Amino acid sequence: MQALQQAIAARVRPVLAAHGGDIEIVNITTDGFVKVRLTGACANCPGARQTIAEVVEAACKEACPEIEGVIPVHQVSDGLIQEALRLLRHDKT
């Protein structure tokens, strides 16, 4: 875990910070996948999938060869959830 955190800090965070973003390690699964959440400008970037594959996953696998892959975790805002519920309930207010 320490090598993974160091790789994220040294190789991934500077790339994301240059675009106004950051990364959070959510957890590491028992089957070797790292779940991450992109934050800031990178959270909703159209290129996020490519960044995860080419930057994040590459750095993780290089630091910890036992890592099978990286899984993005997307966070939905409370406002968006409330709007979806309003629409599903056919609430006109």
- The 10s digit of each residue's pLDDT in 79-89 is 777 788 888 88
What pLDDT is attached to residue 52? 94
In tens, the pLDDT along 12-56 reads 999 999 999 999 999 999 999 999 999 998 988 889 999 999 999
**Res 93 pLDDT > 60:** no
pTM: 0.77
The CATH architecture assigned to 2-88 reads 2-Layer Sandwich (3.30)
Place of tokens 């060869």: 65
Distances in whole angstroms, Cα of residue 2 to Cα of each of 60, 69, 89 = 11, 17, 46
